[in-house]
């Protein structure tokens, strides 16, 4: 899907309106201190106060929507923006299944009337060692979990991407086992930083970004942030996840960003922020250690990578 330059200008206005930009810098969008970013949007300010430091700059709408991983539309970074024009994200429903009191098929429009959509600026760190900073709109996954009302036996959640080979050309090839699946432990899924995103820069998600609903788990490698979700299953055992099924020695179930545990074929110590030349040091848990470190206390992170 192509974006007109006039539309991009309106995203900048959007940013100004929402006061994402504290001080304007000659070289484009910049974030100042982040402490008041969520002032009007979240009651949970303490959690978000130090999400970003002054070195983080928002990636542009164009960068975020033309450099993607979404194998349902091909393996190249521009394939998703070039090949997703026939995908129809409306109308959309999500089925809630498994160990819950309220199994149902939810219409997305109706669901959005029941949840609180907020602005969340998060870093996204891909396992391939590139990263971006993205202003998402979304709602806490915990709100959907409350609607599902899990049984105490539900320990994990599996997410499933829609299977529509007629609209997703990559699904006609054996690039991955389809549909794409991912999973979280229940406490990770309930964590306030975990969101289901419906938009970015104030614009509904474009197809390449995972329209109309995708997961964003900012302390994990990007492949955990599954796109175009059509089912959510509550299960009692660690569920299958596409990349850890495919190459278990390279991609673990947890996949927390960890600068100390390298991928068998490359270092995870540094990353390239899209739009920058100099590599940056990768931060433990992608910089969200204070918020999420307790989830993994006592776990051997070399074993549970
Ligand atoms: N979800 C589906 N269904 N299919 C995919 O191929 N790629 C993952 C993740 N979600 C992928 C997916 C990977 S590897 C990354 S890094 C992120 O999406 C990229 O998200 P972005 O394109 O919005 O940056």
| Contact in structure between 173 and 120 (CB atoms under 8 Å) | no
Domain that holds residue 159: 5-120+135-242
Residue 50 reports pLDDT greater than 90: no
Cα of 180 to ligand 1 centre, how many Å? Answer: 10
Q: Which two tokens stand for residue 48?
A: 């978000």
- 202 domain-assigned: yes
Residue nearest to atom 23 of ligand 1 (CA): 209
Please give the tally of structural domains in the chain: 1
d(CA 142, CA 193): 10
Q: Give nearest CA residue, ligand 1 atom 16.
A: 222
Smallest CA separation from ligand 1 atom 14, residue: 223
Q: pLDDT tens for residues 73-101?
A: 999 999 999 999 999 999 999 999 999 99
**How many CB atoms lie under 10 A from the CB of residue 134?**
21
CATH of the domain at 43: 3.90.420.10
Q: ∠ at Cα 149 (147, 153), nearest 5°?
A: 150
> Which residue has the least CA distance to atom 22 on ligand 1?
68
Contact 119, 48 (CB under 8 A): no
Asked, for residue 298, whether it belongs to a domain, the answer is no
Per-residue pLDDT tens over the stretch 212-242: 999 999 999 999 999 999 999 999 999 999 9
Residue 142 in any domain: the answer is: yes
- Residue at 208 is within a domain: yes
Residue 51: is its pLDDT beyond 60?
Answer: no
The mean pLDDT of 251-266, rounded to a whole number, is 96
Is 57 part of any domain?
yes
Assess if residue 254 is contained within a domain. Answer: no
71 lines ligand 1 (CB under 6 A): yes
Closest CA to 121 of 171, 71, 59, 176: 59
Q: Is the CB of 154 under 6 A from ligand 1?
A: no
Q: Residue 211: name the closest of 89, 71, 75 by CA.
A: 89
- In this prediction, residue 54 carries a pLDDT of 77
Tell me the sheet residues that pair with 232.
96, 159
Tokens 């788990």 correspond to 217
Q: Six-digit token pair at 140?
A: 């806490």
The dihedral over CA atoms of 245, 251, 255, 260, expressed in degrees to the nearest 10, equals 160
């Amino acid at each position: 899907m192509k974006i007109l330059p006039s539309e991009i200008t309106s995203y900048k206005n959007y940013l100004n309106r929402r006061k994402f930009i504290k001080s304007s810098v000659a070289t484009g969008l910049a974030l100042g201190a982040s402490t008041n970013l969520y002032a009007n949007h979240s009651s949970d300010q303490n959690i978000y106060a130090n999400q970003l430091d002054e070195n983080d700059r928002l990636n542009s709408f164009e960068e975020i929507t033309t450099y993607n991983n979404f194998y349902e539309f091909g393996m190249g970074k521009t394939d998703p923006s070039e090949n997703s024009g026939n995908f129809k994200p409306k109308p959309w429903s999500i089925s809630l299944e498994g160990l819950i009191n309220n199994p149902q098929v939810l219409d997305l429009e109706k669901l959005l009337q029941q949840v609180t959509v907020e602005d969340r600026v998060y870093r996204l760190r891909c396992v391939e060692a590139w990263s971006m900073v993205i202003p998402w709109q979304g709602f806490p996954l915990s709100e959907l979990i409350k609607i599902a009302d899990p049984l105490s036996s539900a320990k994990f959640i599996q997410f499933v991407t829609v299977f529509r080979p007629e609209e997703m050309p990559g699904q006609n090839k054996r690039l991955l086992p389809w549909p794409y699946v991912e999973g979280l432990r229940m406490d990770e899924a309930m964590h306030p930083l975990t969101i289901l995103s419906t938009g970015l820069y104030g614009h509904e998600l474009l197809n390449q970004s995972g329209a109309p609903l995708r997961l964003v788990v900012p302390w994990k490698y990007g492949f955990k942030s599954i796109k175009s979700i059509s089912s959510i299953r509550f299960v009692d055992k660690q569920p299958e996840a596409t990349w850890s099924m495919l190459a278990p020695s390279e991609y673990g179930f947890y996949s927390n960003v960890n600068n100390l545990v390298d991928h068998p074929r490359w270092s995870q110590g540094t990353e390239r922020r899209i739009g920058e030349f100099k590599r940056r040091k990768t931060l433990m848990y992608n910089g969200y250690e204070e918020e999420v470190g307790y989830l993994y206390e006592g776990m051997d992170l070399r074993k549970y990578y």
